[in-house]
């Protein structure tokens, strides 16, 4: 009988025993208690942790440990409370806090797993290990914790309050899941987080690695990539813990960070004291990441130990959207006051206001990576001698991006020695600068001169002597600031804002001040919205363009503007095919994945396209006949992914054949481009055994990730890239390695597979590494172009100081061979512009050889008052004169010239009097002058005409040789420019009695009338006006004593007189 009963009892006691009734108080006394007791009174207390751990407690239960007592082991009571009725752990009796001393066989001293509605108060907790701390996260100590609250795939858990514990000597390892109080969510399958976590009034000293850490593996949003190796994979979607408050804690000598939190929304961290954090390894004292709407206030963060990396009092870290850091006191920190650092998606909307920093060291403000939209205002920064000459700010651009839009207002910087600012990304207005190199010249309203603090530098010798930073009545900082809207309503000391015009610095002077008068408009603190696209999306680096007609309100730029809510749309119904192109300009990138995001895809999404890239000589297809079918039409994001073999290019385009044009239009919200190393996994292989990293690290476009071999390698070995069924042209290979002198590849052949076999592209290549530090050093070899289906390095030797070889990146490229220019000619070596020419001309330059790589030509004129020439060789005539237009090749500076002449002015002709008289007795003198400005007379073209007939013989002629009557003498001239002019003069040839008489006399003298008597007879007849008789006699004598010619002349004139 008895046997059966005892067996029955033992069966039951083996299972966690349900507590007897809800709302029961249990007492535990390690020296006076007994596990056989019922535990419900001080006199009948339980004894051991095992007893407590074997019990499942109910809502409203209390578990009280006796003051002054201690237990070795792990406390892990089971069960959960409920809303309004938590389970409480506390102490009873007078004396020191009950001690839970952890043991090396358990990682935690106090543990809850997938439990909720618990409050733990008034315990002392330790968890030592004999092993030393180091930076290896897999340190054999293990990830030890003081108090570990774990949510493992349990969804949302509520109400964990941890208060007034004294936690010390927790010897964990270098991870974020190890330290004094660790609240941890793991949600690989079920997104998991906590709501209502209060960590208040605890003292944590000598804790490794962290003092207080709120962590989670539900971090995926905005393209978040890999986190630390100890965070369990796969990661869950971003699931924040809410109503997290960390307050009134004192954390001293945390090995790494003092207080840190990840993946929260609305966390409040206030009134904590964190001193001597980063005690054993670099970190930051108070920091947060992947968290939204953070409030960090009234904390004192001081004397961090390790400033080699970070080490700041406060650190707004990666992926934070919205942080307010106010009314904190930071001093004597090894790394600096305020760190803004981000390696992932943007950290945005950070406000740092009304804080005091005294004697922080190294870098007071540090900006690193993609940080956007920061307001630092009304902070008082004191840099004393013990700051050790820090920089006021430094600045780092990282793969995630560059810090930008950092606005500084109303701050006072007081320095006894500093190295000044890196001003990139920052603007300064209405700040005060005193001493050191703090002055920012560009500050339009800067105040210099002694700020008149009550007692600067006097803090840190007592906790409330920051009163030294209050302003004296005659401080130039009073009223010298600018109003900021939504300023929180109070200054550092609790004074209301503002007392008339705002003051600079953390103190708003309370005494009487002059009235504000008219003030500049207040500053609005604006929020920016986070971008939609992951940080490793390459598309935003390109310029987008399209051959489709775009809607005027939805431009093509919207497809790579990083925001999903802005879309591109065609205008009306597009005609296909059309192109959407991304041009990366001078950059070459590698990619293997395209993503299209279309909201309302069923209505207007792109459905059919080819993907092409520009290989330098033309467009080459990467993938053809890609078809997308869209499922949604409700405004939600729908993202389609297209994978393709890893391709290097500067330009890529979609040749779009069709879309769902249900309303006529085609739209696209975002086009994204990635180099996704997972997709290229099969592309690269190696015959070397791997020691560290993976071989895909050498083609992931990330110089920081490296592959290292095992320490035991033999040569030759191979590293092979497989390009699939489309060969690529290659003529250049670059190896990137750090610590090259220690582990870089030195001798290798470059081989390629041409479709049927392996050939050598470059035999016996050899590189010499120059560096042996963390610099990513590049070494390049080139060779004649080959077309490779596969490419491999046959590695024959390497530096192996530590046994292994390593490679950060293998870059395979084809740069088109450069064909140099050998000469240039112009199609028209000279141009003459005359009055009738066009006022412009087009010159063509021919660069040889015709396949020269750079055929760019620069045009110039040496006299732009004569001709202008544009970049395409189009000549515009300006004015008369001569000029030389030169075409010069960009490559080689070869030149060709065209001589330009501009002459609009025809020759000037002056005709002299061409006759001595009108009478036949006169002389015809064809006198003329031709002159020409600019090009000069073209004498060959000069024509002398008499009565329209060209005079071949231009000489003085007796008038009697000309017919009687009207004549016209003409001179026509040309200049060498081809301008022509003509001038004429009319004259008459007449006769008279007197003229005739003179002719007779002249002929007689000339011997044409060879008889004096006849001559006289003729003269007499003329004097008597006896013309007909004259005529008779001339006729009679013609050929005898009057020459025939003479007779003709005389008879002609005489008959003319007769007929008058």
Binding mask 174-203 for other proteins (x = CB under 8 A): ---------------------------x-x
Confirm or reject binding of residue 71 to other proteins (CB under 8 A).
yes
Among 72, 83, 541, 893, contact with other proteins (rule: CB under 8 A): 72
CB of 690 to other proteins, least distance (A): 22
Q: What gap in Å lies between CA 741 and CA 726, rounded to an integer?
A: 36
Closest CA relative to residue 656, chosen from 568, 726, 565, 725: 568
Q: Is 69 in the site for other proteins (CB under 8 A)?
A: yes
Contact 306, 281 (CB under 8 A): yes
Token representation of residue 221: 């949003």
What is the DSSP pairing of strand 578-583 with strand 166-171?
unpaired
Give the whole-angstrom CA distance, residue 26 versus residue 1053.
164
169 is a contact residue toward other proteins (CB under 8 A) = yes
**Does 254 contact other proteins by CB under 8 A?**
no
Number of Cβ within 10 Å of residue 695's Cβ equals: 19
Asked whether position 281 contacts other proteins by CB under 8 A, the answer is: yes
Residue 332, interface with other proteins (CB under 8 A)? yes
Determine which residue in the list 361, 595, 665, 790 makes contact with other proteins, applying CB under 8 A. Answer: 361
CB of 868 to other proteins, least distance (A): 56
Identify which range of 244-252, 858-866, 926-934, 981-989 contacts other proteins by CB under 8 A: 244-252
Residue appearing with tokens 């900006």: 367
Residue 967: count other Cβ atoms within 10 Å of its Cβ. 18
Alpha carbons 973 and 929: distance in angstroms, whole number: 10
Determine if 99 is a binding residue for other proteins (CB under 8 A): yes
Contact by Cβ (8 Å): 680, 592: yes
- Residue 167: which residues within 8 A CB-CB, separation 6 or more? 124, 125, 126, 146, 147, 180, 181, 202, 203, 204, 205, 207
Per-residue string for binding with other proteins, 110-149, x by CB under 8 A?
--------------x-x-xxxxxxxx--------------
Q: From CA 207, how far away is CA 940, in angstroms rounded?
A: 109
CB of 256 to other proteins, least distance (A): 13
Q: Which is nearer to other proteins, 279 or 674 (CB)?
A: 279
Cβ-based nearer residue to other proteins, 143 or 217: 143
Per CB under 8 A, which region of 186-194, 217-225, 307-315, 785-793 contacts other proteins? 307-315
Distances (CA, A) of 844 to 471, 871, 875, 923: 75, 11, 10, 57
Determine the interface stretch with other proteins among 98-106, 364-372, 688-696, 980-988 (rule: CB under 8 A).
Answer: 98-106
Q: Which of residues 900-919 bind other proteins (CB under 8 A)?
A: none
Identify residues 367-406 at the interface with other proteins (CB under 8 A): 384-386, 388, 390
**Member of 61, 171, 292, 1053 binding other proteins (CB under 8 A):** 171
Residues 920-959 binding other proteins (CB under 8 A) are none
The SS3 assignment for 934 reads coil
| Structure-token pair, residue 1051 | 């008879």
Residues 686/695, Cβ–Cβ less than 8 Å: yes
Does position 269 interact with other proteins (CB under 8 A)? The reply is: no
Contacts (Cβ under 8 Å, ≥6 apart) of 714: none
The strand pairing partners of 1041, in sequence order, are none
314 near other proteins, judged by CB under 8 A:
no
Residue 30 engages other proteins in binding (rule: CB under 8 A): yes
Q: Among 213, 279, 367, 960, indicate the residue that binds other proteins (CB under 8 A).
A: 279
The whole-angstrom separation of Cα 429 and Cα 436 is 19
Residue in 28, 63, 149, 334 binding other proteins, rule: CB under 8 A: 334
CA separation for the pair 702, 721 (Å, rounded): 17
* Cis previous bond, 230, omega within 30: no
Cα distance from N-terminal residue to C-terminal residue, the chain? 186
DSSP string, 797-838: EE--TTS--EESEEEEE-PPPPPPP-EEEES-SEEEE-TTS-
Nearer to other proteins, 327 or 928 (CB): 327
User: Shortest Cβ distance from residue 50 to other proteins (Å)?
Assistant: 11
Q: Which of residues 625-684 bind other proteins (CB under 8 A)?
A: none
Beta bridge pairs of residue 27: 64
Q: Which two tokens stand for residue 897?
A: 């010239």
Please tell me the distance from the alpha carbon of residue 996 to that of residue 1003, in angstroms, as a whole number: 10
485: contact with other proteins by CB under 8 A: no
Contacts of 614 (CB under 8 A, 6+ apart): 620, 649, 650, 651, 652, 653
Of the pair 101, 884, the CB lying nearest other proteins is at 101
Q: Which is nearer to other proteins, 99 or 197 (CB)?
A: 99
Q: Report whether the peptide linkage leading into residue 44 is cis, meaning its omega lies within 30 degrees of zero.
A: no
CB of 302 to other proteins, least distance (A): 7
Q: Binder to other proteins among 61, 90, 184, 206 (CB under 8 A)?
A: 206
Which structure tokens are listed for 76?
């892990």
Nearer to other proteins, 453 or 748 (CB): 453
- Per CB under 8 A, 329 contacts other proteins: yes
Interacting residues with other proteins between 693 and 752 (CB under 8 A) = 739
The C-alpha atoms of residue 66 and residue 92 are separated, in whole angstroms, by: 5
Cα 752 off chain centre by: 36
104 or 957: CB nearest other proteins = 104
Q: Which of 108, 184, 300, 670 binds other proteins (CB under 8 A)?
A: 300
Based on the shown chain and the rule CB under 8 A, indicate whether residue 271 belongs to the binding site for other proteins.
yes
Write down the number of H helices and E strands in the chain. 8, 78
Task: Tell me the closest approach of the beta carbon of residue 11 to other proteins, in angstroms.
Answer: 27
Query: Helix or strand or coil: residue 763?
Result: strand
Q: Is 94 in the site for other proteins (CB under 8 A)?
A: no
Near other proteins by CB under 8 A, which window of 217-225, 441-449, 456-464, 781-789?
456-464
**Candidate list 104, 705, 923, 1029; residue touching other proteins; CB under 8 A:** 104
**Cβ distance to other proteins smaller for residue 461 or 1060:** 461
On whether the CB atoms of residues 219 and 262 are closer than 8 A, the answer is yes
* Number of shown-chain residues binding other proteins (CB under 8 A): 81
Q: Which helix (H) or strand (E) holds 741?
A: helix 740-743
Stretch that binds other proteins, among 457-465, 792-800, 881-889, 901-909 (CB under 8 A): 457-465
Q: Which stretch binds other proteins (CB under 8 A): 63-71, 669-677, 693-701, 994-1002?
A: 63-71
Give the one residue of 249, 349, 393, 592 binding other proteins; rule: CB under 8 A: 249
What is the closest distance, in whole angstroms, from the C-beta atom of residue 494 to other proteins in the complex?
4
The answer to whether the beta carbons of residues 409 and 523 sit under 8 Å apart is yes
User: Distances from the Cα of 851 to the Cαs of 286, 732, 813, 819, in angstroms?
Assistant: 63, 21, 21, 7
- Answer whether the bond into residue 938 is a cis peptide, omega within 30°: no
Residue placing its CB nearer to other proteins in the complex, 774 or 952: 774
252 binds other proteins (CB under 8 A): yes
Of 157, 160, 246, 280, the residue at the interface with other proteins (CB under 8 A) is 280
C-beta of 131 vs 472, nearer to other proteins: 131
Minimum CB separation from other proteins for residue 421, in Å? 17
Smallest distance from the beta carbon of 733 to other proteins, in angstroms?
Answer: 26
Residue with tokens 């990666």: 318
Residue in 147, 303, 535, 721 binding other proteins, rule: CB under 8 A: 303
- Residue choice 145, 168, 177, 665 for contact with other proteins (CB under 8 A): 168
Work out whether 70 is an interface residue with other proteins (CB under 8 A).
Answer: yes
Report the residue number, 79 or 336, with the smaller CB distance to other proteins: 336
Distance from C-alpha of 69 to C-alpha of 29, rounded to nearest angstrom:
7
Of the pair 68, 534, the CB lying nearest other proteins is at 68
476 phi and psi angles, rounded to 5 deg: -70, -5
């Amino acid at each position: 009988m008895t046997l059966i009963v005892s067996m029955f009892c033992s069966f039951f006691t083996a299972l966690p025993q349900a507590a007897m009734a809800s709302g029961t108080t249990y007492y535990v006394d390690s020296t006076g208690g007994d596990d056989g007791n019922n535990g419900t009174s001080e006199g009948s207390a339980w004894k051991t942790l095992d007893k407590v751990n074997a019990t499942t407690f109910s809502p409203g239960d209390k578990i009280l440990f006796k003051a002054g007592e201690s237990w070795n082991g792990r406390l892990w009571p089971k069960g959960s409370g409920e809303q309004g009725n938590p389970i409480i752990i506390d102490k009873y009796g007078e004396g020191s806090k009950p001690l839970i001393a952890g043991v090396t066989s358990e990682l935690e001293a106090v543990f809850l797993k997938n439990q909720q509605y618990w409050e733990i108060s008034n315990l002392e907790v330790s968890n030592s290990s004999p092993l030393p701390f180091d930076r290896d996260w897999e340190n054999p100590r293990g990830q030890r914790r003081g108090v570990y609250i774990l949510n493992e795939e349990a969804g949302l858990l509520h109400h964990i309050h941890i208060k007034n514990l004294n936690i010390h000597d927790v010897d964990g390892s270098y991870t974020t899941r190890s330290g004094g109080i660790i609240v941890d969510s793991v949600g690989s399958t079920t997104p998991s987080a906590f709501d209502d976590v209060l960590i208040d009034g605890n003292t944590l000293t000598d804790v490794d690695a962290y003092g207080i850490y709120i962590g989670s593996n539900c971090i995926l949003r905005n393209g978040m990539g890999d986190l630390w190796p100890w965070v369990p994979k796969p990661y869950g979607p971003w699931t924040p813990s809410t109503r997290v408050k960390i307050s009134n804690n004192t954390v001293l000598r945390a090995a790494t960070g003092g207080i840190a939190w990840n993946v929260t929304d609305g966390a409040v961290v206030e009134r904590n004291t964190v001193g001597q954090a980063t005690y054993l390894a670099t970190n930051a004292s108070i920091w947060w990441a992947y968290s939204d709407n953070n409030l960090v206030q009234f904390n004192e963060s001081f004397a961090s130990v390790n400033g080699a990396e970070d080490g700041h009092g406060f650190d707004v870290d990666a992926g934070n959207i919205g942080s307010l850091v106010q009314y904190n006191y930071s001093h004597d920190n090894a790394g600096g006051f305020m760190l803004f650092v981000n390696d992932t998606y943007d950290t945005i909307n950070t406000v740092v206001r009304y804080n005091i920093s005294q004697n922080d060291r190294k870098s007071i403000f540090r900006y690193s990576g993609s940080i956007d939209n920061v307001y630092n205002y009304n902070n008082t920064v004191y840099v004393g001698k013990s700051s050790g000459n820090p920089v006021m700010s430094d600045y780092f651009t990282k793969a995630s991006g560059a810090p930008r839009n950092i606005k500084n207002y109303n701050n006072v910087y007081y320095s006894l020695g500093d190295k000044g600012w890196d001003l990139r990304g920052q603007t300064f207005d209405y700040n005060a600068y005193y001493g050191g190199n703090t002055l920012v010249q560009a500050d339009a309203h800067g105040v210099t001169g002694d700020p008149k603090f009550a007692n600067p530098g006097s803090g840190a010798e007592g906790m409330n002597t920051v009163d030294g930073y209050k302003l004296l009545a005659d401080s130039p900082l009073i009223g010298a600031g600018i109003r900021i809207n939504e300023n929180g309503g109070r200054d550092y000391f609790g004074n209301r804002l503002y007392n008339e015009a705002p003051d600079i610095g953390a103190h708003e002077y309370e005494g009487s001040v002059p009235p504000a008068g008219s003030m500049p408009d207040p500053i609005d603190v604006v929020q920016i919205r986070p971008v939609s696209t992951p940080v490793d999306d390459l598309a935003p680096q390109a310029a987008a363009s399209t051959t489709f007609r775009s809607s005027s309100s939805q431009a093509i730029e919207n497809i790579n503007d990083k925001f999903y809510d802005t879309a591109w749309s065609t205008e009306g119904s597009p005609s296909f095919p059309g192109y959407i192109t991304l041009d990366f300009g001078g950059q070459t990138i590698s990619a293997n994945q395209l993503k299209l995001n279309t909201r309302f895809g069923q209505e207007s999404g792109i459905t059919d396209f080819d993907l092409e890239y520009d290989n330098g000589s033309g467009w080459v297809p990467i993938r053809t006949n890609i078809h997308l079918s869209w499922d949604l039409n409700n405004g939600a994001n729908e993202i389609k992914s297209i994978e393709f073999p890893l391709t290097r290019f500067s330009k890529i385009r979609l040749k779009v054949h069709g879309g769902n044009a249900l309303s006529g239009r085609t739209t696209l919200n975002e086009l994204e481009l990635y180099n996704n190393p997972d997709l290229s996994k099969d592309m690269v292989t190696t015959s070397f055994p791997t020691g560290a990293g993976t071989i895909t690290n050498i083609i992931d476009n990330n110089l920081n990730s490296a592959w290292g071999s095992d320490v035991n390698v033999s040569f030759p070995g191979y590293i092979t890239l497989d390009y699939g069924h489309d060969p690529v042209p290659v003529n250049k290979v670059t190896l990137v390695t750090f610590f090259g002198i220690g582990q870089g590849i030195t001798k290798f052949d470059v081989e390629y597979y041409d479709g049927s076999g392996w050939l050598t592209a470059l035999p016996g290549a050899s590189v010499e590494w120059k560096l042996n530090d963390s610099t990513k050093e590049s070494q390049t070899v080139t060779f004649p172009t080959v077309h490779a289906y596969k490419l491999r390095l046959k590695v024959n030797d390497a530096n192996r100081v530590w046994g292994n070889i390593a490679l950060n990146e293998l870059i395979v490229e084809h740069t088109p061979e450069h064909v140099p220019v050998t000469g240039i000619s112009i199609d028209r070596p000279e141009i003459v512009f005359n009055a009738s020419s066009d006022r412009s001309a087009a010159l063509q330059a021919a660069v040889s050889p015709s396949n020269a790589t750079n055929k760019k030509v620069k045009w110039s004129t040496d006299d732009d008052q004569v001709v202008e020439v544009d970049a395409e060789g189009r000549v515009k005539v300006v004015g008369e004169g001569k000029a030389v237009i030169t075409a010069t090749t960009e490559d080689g500076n070869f030149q060709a010239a065209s001589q330009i002449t501009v002459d609009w002015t025809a020759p000037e002709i002056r005709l002299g009097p061409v006759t001595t008289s009108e009478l036949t007795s006169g002389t015809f003198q064809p006198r003329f002058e031709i002159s020409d400005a600019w090009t000069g007379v073209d004498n060959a073209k000069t024509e002398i005409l008499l009565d329209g007939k060209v005079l071949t013989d231009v000489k003085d002629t007796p008038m009697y040789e000309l017919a009687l009557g009207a004549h016209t003498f003409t001179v026509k001239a040309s200049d060498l420019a081809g301008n022509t002019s003509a001038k004429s003069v009319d004259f008459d040839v007449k006769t008279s009695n007197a003229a005739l008489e003179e002719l007779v006399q002249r002929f007689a003298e000339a011997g044409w009338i060879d008889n004096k008597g006849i001559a006289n007879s003729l003269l007499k007849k003329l004097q008597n006006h006896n013309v007909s008789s004259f005529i008779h006699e001339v006729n009679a004598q013609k050929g005898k004593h009057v020459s025939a010619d003479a007779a003709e002349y005389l008879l002609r004139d005489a008959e003319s007189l007769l007929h008058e």
